[in-house]
């Protein structure tokens, strides 16, 4: 259990960094590629491994299937559904959900502003995640070893 928790702490900063890269790439697709949102999400999500890339790929698939549904609803549903597979915390999810309210609704310039705001918020969360990893990762590993030793002692 301790090693699992330590691994979660190690995965969180990496996944946040992946998310930041994907949002920056999405910005590029929207601004310079003039790419429609479903295709931009598919291209962007395809460049990153699961679970972060999967969030974008699933949103793209759902948008292509959704008829008449706004992108914000699809974004919220797929982010909420796929969030359990990530090591990220609710703070990062909130940033993405706030971003989703503007995707596909406003012009490119406004979407870029919201994407950049989300990136800056995620960068702050990334700093926090790295601090937590440095502070608690070794503690969780030690706790896992100690609990394992305690179980062995109790069994004999």
Tens digit of each residue's pLDDT (9 = 90 or more) over 8-60: 889 999 999 999 999 999 999 988 888 889 999 999 999 999 999 999 999 99
Q: Do the beta carbons of residue 79 and residue 88 sit within 8 Å?
A: no
Q: How many CA atoms lie within 13 A of 88 on its CB side?
A: 27
pLDDT value for 104: 77
Number of H helices, E strands in the chain: 6, 0
* Token pair for 47: 């460049």
The count of C-alpha atoms lying within 13 angstroms of the C-alpha of 25, restricted to the half-sphere facing its C-beta, is 18
Say which residues have a Cβ less than 8 Å from residue 87's Cβ, sequence separation at least 6: 8, 9, 11, 12, 15
Can you tell me whether residue 109 is helix, strand or coil?
Answer: helix
Angle of CA points 81, 86, 124, to nearest 5°? 115
* pTM exceeds cut of 0.75: yes
pLDDT value at position 69?
86
Residue 37 contacts residue 104 (beta carbons within 8 Å): yes
Q: What's the whole-number mean pLDDT along residues 143-152? A: 86
pLDDT at 77: 95
């Amino acid at each position: 259990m301790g090693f699992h928790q330590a691994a979660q702490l190690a995965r969180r900063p990496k996944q946040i960094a992946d998310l930041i890269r994907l949002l920056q790439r999405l910005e590029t697709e929207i601004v310079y590629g003039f790419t429609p949102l479903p295709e931009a999400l598919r291209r962007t999500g395809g460049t990153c491994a699961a679970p972060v890339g999967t969030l974008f790929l699933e949103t793209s698939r759902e948008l292509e299937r959704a008829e008449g549904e706004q992108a914000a609803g699809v974004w919220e549903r797929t982010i909420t559904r796929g969030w359990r597979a990530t090591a990220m915390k609710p703070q990062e999810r909130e940033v993405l959900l706030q971003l989703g309210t503007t995707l596909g609704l406003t012009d490119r310039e406004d979407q870029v502003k919201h994407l950049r705001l989300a990136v800056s918020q995620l960068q702050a969360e990334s700093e926090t995640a790295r601090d937590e990893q440095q502070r608690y990762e070794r503690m969780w590993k030690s706790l896992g070893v100690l609990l394992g030793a305690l179980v062995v002692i109790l069994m004999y």
